[in-house]
Structure 1
Amino acid sequence: MNGARWLVQALEAEGVDTIFGYPGGAIMPFYDALHGASLKHVLVRHEQGAAFAANGFARASGRVGVCVATSGPGASNLVTGIADAMLDSVPMVVITGQVATPLMGTDAFQELDVFGLTLPIVKHSFLVRHVDELPRVVAEAFRIARSGRPGPVLIDLPKDVQIGAAAHLHAHVPSQADTMPGCEDHALHQAAAVISQAERPVVYAGGGIILGDALDAFREFADLTRIPTVLTLRALGALPPAHPANLGMLGMHGTRAANLAVQESDLLIVVGARFDDRATGKLGEFAPHARIVHLDGDGCEIGKLRAADVSVCGDVAASLSRLAAPCAAQMSGRHAAARDAWRALCDQRRTRFAARYDAPGDTVFAPALLKRLSELAPDATVACDVGQHQMWVAQHWRFGHPRKHLTSGALGAMGFGLPAAIGAQMEDPSRRVVCVSGDGSFLMNVQELATLRRYRLPVKIVLLDNQALGMVRQWQELFFERRYSEIDLSDNPDFAEVARAFGIQAMSVDKAADVEAALAALLAADGPALLHVAIDTAANVWPLVPPNHNNAQMLDADEVSSLDIGPPPDASPAPATAASEEPPHALPV
């Protein structure tokens, strides 16, 4: 029994059944210890793939994802996936090999200060200097990763610790995650009082709902109060798409119904959201007439970007459960007529500004394809890359649960989609997993097609190919006077042939009339499959809130030519006034 074998048994005791990694010199004792263990190790083809796969595993399940790499470049290749987990609050334990302790600080082969390198992007880091530290470190790592606002924890493991004698160590006993404290009564009373005074309330819901295991409580609150609700990217699925309160996503590429409701509200009930710039637009003009009731499990988020009139810090599920009944009663009391009129206006806008899918021409219209795919695979878990296709998925896929939408939100990391899909599929082999990617993102971790093939994972890939870095091209078109710089991907390979070279069946579609048959063939394919979809290079994501504008100043394609959208976001001129079908009302504070 050495340190590495003890660690493997500790992982088993923690309930870990799958790890993602890539071996190397400094982590070799750990890989030797895997022989005969119950752990399933998934051999990826790049360490970034290991981190993103563990990330997708954790997002899809709520369990701690585990990835492993060797020292030096193995560890540094994990960094993007660790950062993504930190910024999106994903529970992970990251194990890296390290040179033996006597060699540390000598610039030894593949030595890297991984502890220092990752310090800003983890909840906590451990550098294990003696085998006797392992029981405390492993217990703490998993406890910290799971507790409160989840996140990644690093264990840097020198080679001599891995091979050190460990027969004297007791068997690992997992530590319980910290219990989220409940909210104080007076804060809930204040929140209920403020909500009772509102005539145009809006619920602004974020990823903290699923992080706080508050989905059921949130849905009960929405059912009872019927307050119009807007969702962030990470909260999509928190309400069913057809729920009468659901106005859709807010923000830069949000719906008009959602953005106008927020801008005209007199109260924002913020649930597990953090006033991210992509959600708020110009922060100083975001919901200018609204008081703020902010519920969050992380007190650091309350008041960070927008002062709260009422702070409700603590267990989000418990807070919502306690607020639901009194708030529902208040909805039919004072200001009931005003609230009814407000709900009717929001519902009318949801219908009036609903997305259209009747694009002219015979080419593939990506939003229509994605909407149809979501209808054909309603229970699918979707792992998405970053770019225009990410926003189209957010706008047009009909998510029924937040854990079915795996997307790199805060970091916006290209290359996330395919390995995250692998992680989700490994966590539950019976789950239907779809990866939606773009031609730019896909090539960043294309080597993970080999992982897909090796484990025969039935992930279905939809690759939207516009032969450009689409989102950058769109911004250069709109905000940089069409000075297109380094966005041309017209020399892309034949992606279907690339997939076939990895042993994965592939098909292609470039006509709208053929989409239905292509999607049916993709979903019916046995094992992994790729559908290459050729789309118009000039296709843009609409609507769009321009930089340095508020969320009521949304653009559609027919408004661009008539609008002075101003300079790029680094400048700060006076905001232009957007041409809107329905400008926001001038409402008193």
Structure 2
Amino acid sequence: MKSSSQPRGSDARLAGHALVEALIAQGVTDVFGVPGESYLAVLDGFHEHRDRGIRFIACRQEGGAAFMAEAQGKLTGRPGICFVTRGPGATNASIGLHTAFQDSTPMILFIGQVASDQRDREAFQELDYRQMFGPGTLGFAKWVGEVQDADRLPEYVARAFHTALQGRPGPVVLVLPEDMLTRATTAPVLPRAEPALAWPAPAALAALRERLLAARRPFVIAGGGGWTPEACAALQRFAESWRLPVGCAFRFQDLFDNRHELYAGDVGIGINPKLAARIKEADLILALGPRLGEMTTGGYTLLQAPRPAQQLVHIHAGAEELGRVYAADLLINASMACAAPALAGLAPPEREPAWADWTRQAQADYQANHEAPPVEPLDLARVIKTLDRLMPEDTIYTNGAGNYSGWLHRYHRYPALHQVGRNQLAPTSGAMGYGVPAAVAAALLEPGRWAVNIAGDGDFLMSGQELATATGYGARKLISIVVDNGTYGTIRMHQEREYPGRVSGSDLFNPDFAALARAYGWQAQRVDATAGFEPALRAALAADGPSLIHLKLDADVSTSRSTLSAIRAAARQRLGQSADE
């Protein structure tokens, strides 16, 4: 490491200290990361300003730290902050960066870099981050910047915040050469960044109203980033005044009250077949905020690309997203904080709309899909319904990727964001290992609310070491529920479909999860039958600290035996095999 330049003058300080001051000016109180020698001057800045309400939360792996920052961005609506060192630190953190990109979550990843005089020699842990994370429509970040001049550091930080928040929110990467951070600077910090909001044009709103009035089977799909509590409340007023059925895009279920009479269900993996049919039968789709990606469109089948059978009105904060996949009938570039209130102000029909029965049936289909036949010995539907009954309304639920998450999506009823704050933290990117770090971040950032993580066994072991972070920083209202069926359930399901009876590479050898949690200082219990879950949950609620509940299931439960049988039969028929082979 290069020797520090000693600050001179009353306003001079190390650039690493100025960076921390810039974060404080942006309203940042918590940052997540794994310490590295490449940004020691920044770590010293956190120490210097430790009495100004900002803390560095040291995580156990950079992927977990980046997931925590992504969850922070979802919870606060402001960029989540993550610090990692060069090379391995940056590559480990890339999973959280990719998640923030696909989830439209504001986030800034700060990466320590080799000293300037060592660049382009493949120095120790050196990487070219503009090449690695370079911006694009299919990438990791909206912008990648490298700060060469200490006096321009506040400028770069301000630009990073503006870029992360503007239009479609997303992640930004700022690269920090080690020697730059140790130079003295008198550059002042810049004001707090606020996004410039885009309002829908009056003519576009008038055209949308005409299309709605002419419709007979309209449907609203809400999703994407940039939502505020006020925008969610406005969405509800708009739906109520027009009596419109509302579905939520993949893993954005907390944008609309799932208990509301106009809610029709989530539009994602494991979609209710009746809801999928309804979307295909609709004559007008109002897509308010989502990108309309693969998961929300059922692999681009619910809405055929590039020209859907339904009329499509697409409202999105990023102009570059509009028309990218779908040739919509009406494109409106607007921020969700502006679009939803504008829609709420549209004059509704003067009499009951033609689609009133359509809307009522959509809700009835959702209610019917909430029922499930019992499964023994451990019924995941009843587990989720027990959580709904016993947990406070403002509980934050997190999950990663896997078939187990389908039970949470189908049976939990999320209140709207405007009622309790963001309460669904889940990766639309399908990143395994997300749920544990997200729950730890939620418990640390919002200690007055409960955070409940639902994790598969494979999912949990990708980031379960962050239980130590929770213990070390005093998280209390935190529960992790591990669904252990000894297999990568989603992969096994696909194997059974494509190669029936030929399971390979998807079996897991698991530890005693309860014993592992106790080693981290958590309370823990194992549950083998449905009747044992409620007592275990009540014990977790009464515990003085975080708790883990280990649910031990048969390998077939995460898909269901009947589904596996159907998958195998269909696959055998496709492969020309007899049903009894």
TM-score normalised by length of structure 2: 0.89
Distance 1:348 1:157, change over 3 A: closer
Alignment of structure 1 residues 184-223 onto 2, 5 Å: 184-208=201-225, 210=227, 214-223=231-240
- Whether the 8 Å contact between 1:219 and 1:238 is mirrored in structure 2 is no
The whole-number CA distance in structure 2 between the counterparts of 1:472 and 1:531 is 24
Alignment-derived partner of residue 125 in structure 1: 144
Give 1:372 shift. 1.5
Query: Is 1:315 matched up with 2:335?
Result: yes
Alignment-derived partner of residue 442 in structure 1: 460
2:387 to 363, 373, 377: 373
Alignment-derived partner of residue 31 in structure 1: 43
The whole-number CA distance in structure 2 between the counterparts of 1:561 and 1:423 is 40
What's the secondary structure of 2:454's corresponding residue? strand
Give 1:8 shift. 1.4
Alignment of structure 1 residues 484-499 onto 2, 5 Å: 484-489=503-508, 491-499=509-517
2:436 to 418, 436, 447: 418
What's the secondary structure of 2:550's corresponding residue? strand
What does the per-residue CA deviation read over 1:59-90, in whole Å, with 9 as the maximum and x for residues that have no partner? 12212211111112122211111111111111
The whole-number CA distance in structure 2 between the counterparts of 1:561 and 1:492 is 26
Alignment-derived partner of residue 286 in structure 1: 303
Alignment of structure 1 residues 12-161 onto 2, 5 Å: 12-37=24-49, 38=52, 39-119=54-134, 120-161=139-180
The whole-number CA distance in structure 2 between the counterparts of 1:429 and 1:212 is 20
Which region of structure 1 is more displaced relative to structure 2, 283-292 or 60-69? 283-292
Give 1:263 shift. 1.6
- Whether the 8 Å contact between 1:22 and 1:70 is mirrored in structure 2 is yes
Distance 1:341 1:53, change over 3 A: closer
What does the per-residue CA deviation read over 1:157-178, in whole Å, with 9 as the maximum and x for residues that have no partner? 1111011121x32x21225333
Alignment-derived partner of residue 487 in structure 2: 468
Alignment-derived partner of residue 576 in structure 1: none
What's the secondary structure of 1:78's corresponding residue? helix
Name the aligned partner's letter for residue 359 of structure 1. P
What's the secondary structure of 2:287's corresponding residue? strand
What does the per-residue CA deviation read over 1:411-449, in whole Å, with 9 as the maximum and x for residues that have no partner? 211111111112222222212111111100111112111
Alignment-derived partner of residue 385 in structure 1: 400
The runs of 5 or more residues in structure 2 that have no matched partner are: 1-12, 576-581
The whole-number CA distance in structure 1 between the counterparts of 2:215 and 2:559 is 34
- Whether the 8 Å contact between 2:436 and 2:466 is mirrored in structure 1 is yes
Alignment-derived partner of residue 261 in structure 2: 244
What's the secondary structure of 2:145's corresponding residue? strand
The whole-number CA distance in structure 1 between the counterparts of 2:340 and 2:132 is 39
Name the aligned partner's letter for residue 445 of structure 1. S
Distance 1:212 1:315, change over 3 A: farther
Give 1:260 shift. 2.3
Alignment-derived partner of residue 586 in structure 1: none
Which region of structure 1 is more displaced relative to structure 2, 443-452 or 479-488? 479-488
Alignment-derived partner of residue 289 in structure 2: 272
What does the per-residue CA deviation read over 1:456-475, in whole Å, with 9 as the maximum and x for residues that have no partner? 21221111101110111122
What does the per-residue CA deviation read over 1:373-432, in whole Å, with 9 as the maximum and x for residues that have no partner? 1221132101211101222211111111352000011x2111111111122222222121
Give 1:350 shift. 3.1
Name the aligned partner's letter for residue 79 of structure 1. S
Alignment-derived partner of residue 296 in structure 1: 316
Alignment-derived partner of residue 580 in structure 1: none
- Whether the 8 Å contact between 2:129 and 2:144 is mirrored in structure 1 is no
Name the aligned partner's letter for residue 463 of structure 1. V
Which region of structure 1 is more displaced relative to structure 2, 207-216 or 135-144? 207-216
The whole-number CA distance in structure 1 between the counterparts of 2:17 and 2:76 is 27
Distance 1:90 1:329, change over 3 A: same
What does the per-residue CA deviation read over 1:248-290, in whole Å, with 9 as the maximum and x for residues that have no partner? 1124311234222212111111111222222222525637642
Name the aligned partner's letter for residue 294 of structure 1. H
RMSD between aligned residues: 2.3
The whole-number CA distance in structure 1 between the counterparts of 2:215 and 2:400 is 39
Give 1:212 shift. 9.6
Alignment-derived partner of residue 9 in structure 1: 21
Distance 1:229 1:563, change over 3 A: farther
What's the secondary structure of 1:434's corresponding residue? strand
Give 1:567 shift. 6.2
TM-score normalised by length of structure 1: 0.88
Name the aligned partner's letter for residue 98 of structure 2. A
- Whether the 8 Å contact between 2:262 and 2:360 is mirrored in structure 1 is no
The whole-number CA distance in structure 2 between the counterparts of 1:285 and 1:241 is 22
Query: Is 1:350 matched up with 2:370?
Result: no
- Whether the 8 Å contact between 1:24 and 1:69 is mirrored in structure 2 is yes
What's the secondary structure of 2:355's corresponding residue? helix
The whole-number CA distance in structure 2 between the counterparts of 1:347 and 1:35 is 54
Give 1:55 shift. 1.1
The whole-number CA distance in structure 1 between the counterparts of 2:19 and 2:395 is 35
The whole-number CA distance in structure 1 between the counterparts of 2:302 and 2:447 is 46
Name the aligned partner's letter for residue 125 of structure 1. V
Name the aligned partner's letter for residue 159 of structure 1. E
The whole-number CA distance in structure 2 between the counterparts of 1:35 and 1:251 is 45
The runs of 5 or more residues in structure 1 that have no matched partner are: 544-554, 569-589
- Whether the 8 Å contact between 1:365 and 1:535 is mirrored in structure 2 is no
What's the secondary structure of 1:283's corresponding residue? coil
Distance 1:149 1:440, change over 3 A: same
Give 1:210 shift. 2.1
What's the secondary structure of 1:4's corresponding residue? helix
Give 1:150 shift. 1.3
What's the secondary structure of 1:294's corresponding residue? strand
Distance 1:63 1:561, change over 3 A: same
Query: Is 1:324 matched up with 2:363?
Result: no
- Whether the 8 Å contact between 1:247 and 1:257 is mirrored in structure 2 is no
Give 1:530 shift. 0.4
The whole-number CA distance in structure 2 between the counterparts of 1:500 and 1:278 is 37
- Whether the 8 Å contact between 1:251 and 1:259 is mirrored in structure 2 is no
Query: Is 1:500 matched up with 2:514?
Result: no
Distance 1:399 1:344, change over 3 A: closer
Name the aligned partner's letter for residue 545 of structure 2. G
What percentage of aligned pairs have identical amino acids?
Answer: 32
